[in-house]
Amino acid sequence: MGVLALAALAALTLAVGIGSVAVSPGELWAVATGQGEPLSRTLVLELRLPRALSAFATGGLLALAGALMQVLLRNPLADPYVLGLSGGAAVGALAAMLAGLGGALITGSAFAGALLSTLLVFGLAHGTGSWTPARLLLTGVVVAAGWGAVVTLMLAVSPVERLPGMLYWLMGDLAYARSPLLPSMLLVGVCLLAIPLGRSLNVLARGALQAAALGVAVRPLEWTIYLAASALTAMAVTTAGSIGFVGLVVPHMLRLVLGNDQRLILPACALAGGTLLVLADTLARTIIAPEQLPVGVITALLGVPTFLYLLYRSR
């Protein structure tokens, strides 16, 4: 955890220091101590630092949601993007935008979309018998494709002047991220909620029947995971748009290093997911500076090979 915290601090420092206009370590220190030139203070405190903190919070939200979904499904291939939660949240947020709503109403619409997607996936996967992780995964992929079709339809009927911003937002874009306060508060709150449940989550990862036999209240715990993952995904989508594969890559890689104790995995996911997205966003805005790439492009380039590798291992 100490190493991950240092890595997060280093990533944030790198993010505020480099770009189309570089800020030297000396200037960063001057800004941090309340001095520095006005241009450097504006660049760091008003432009780069809020964006870096938003990226960190979004990455932590997605990684934590992915870790919770993987415990629930007992499948390392589960994450909010693959299971359609991101698609449902995106549809809800876009519908609120097209209706002229803003602020908390967009977040609420995204949460409703993510929760609806979760209920659809689990309801359709259950069928006439008990669901299996493979059936849930396949159902999630199909539901995600359906949400993609709805998003395409919404784009087709949207006013032309709104299309560029909506398209960049759908690809994952932190250029217009608002204050990082709300996503950061949600990330900390869910971590504080999930860590005491770590022992029960460890048992649930072994199977619902075994967890029930050992005294775990399985149904309330599953609903807690549903709601927490939906809220995390909704806040991430409203902050930065639809960003894929962070919730897939980070928890799996941490399990290879830390084992499968959720009391360690969940807070580690918050730190590592945030660090990954900060680095990805820094690369996205500097690789062809002064032009910027959507950060979702960078995470997809990292996540697709990892996803294929996991599929190959689980064949």
> 184-193, pLDDT tens digit by residue?
999 999 888 8
281: which residues sit within 8 A by CB, 6+ positions away? 15, 51, 52, 55, 174, 295, 298
CA 222 to the chain's CA centroid? 20
Supply the pLDDT for residue 9.
92
pLDDT band of 63, cuts 50, 70, 90: very high
pLDDT band of 60, cuts 50, 70, 90: very high
**What's the CA gap between 240 and 244, in Å, rounded?**
11
Query: Over the chain, what HEC string results?
Result: CHHHHHHHHHHHHHHHHCCCCCCCHHHHHHHHCCCCCHHHHHHHHHHHHHHHHHHHHHHHHHHHHHHHHHHHHCCCCCCCCCCCHHHHHHHHHHHHHHCCCCCHHHHHHHHHHHHHHHHHHHHHHHCCCCCCHHHHHHHHHHHHHHHHHHHHHHHHCCCHHHHHHHHHHHCCCCCCCCCCHHHHHHHHHHHHHHHHHHHHHHHHCCCHHHHHHCCCCHHHHHHHHHHHHHHHHHHHHHHHCCCCCHHHHHHHHHHHHHCCCHHHHHHHHHHHHHHHHHHHHHHHHHCCCCCCCCHHHHHHHHHHHHHHHHHHHCC
Supply the pLDDT for residue 272.
93
Supply the pLDDT for residue 277.
93
Supply the pLDDT for residue 100.
75
Count other C-beta atoms under 10 Å from residue 240's C-beta.
Answer: 29
In the chain, the amino acid numbered 12 is L
> What digits encode the pLDDT tens for the residues 66-124?
999 888 877 777 778 777 888 888 888 888 878 877 667 777 888 888 888 888 887 78
> What digits encode the pLDDT tens for the residues 15-52?
888 877 777 777 777 777 777 777 777 777 778 888 89
Residue scoring higher pLDDT (276 or 26): 276
Supply the pLDDT for residue 58.
92
- Region 203-227: mean pLDDT is 81
> What digits encode the pLDDT tens for the residues 117-176?
888 887 787 766 666 667 777 888 888 889 889 988 888 888 887 777 677 777 777 876
- Region 266-292: mean pLDDT is 88
- Region 55-60: mean pLDDT is 92
Rg (CA), the chain: 20
- Region 177-183: mean pLDDT is 82
Q: What is the pTM of this model?
A: 0.85
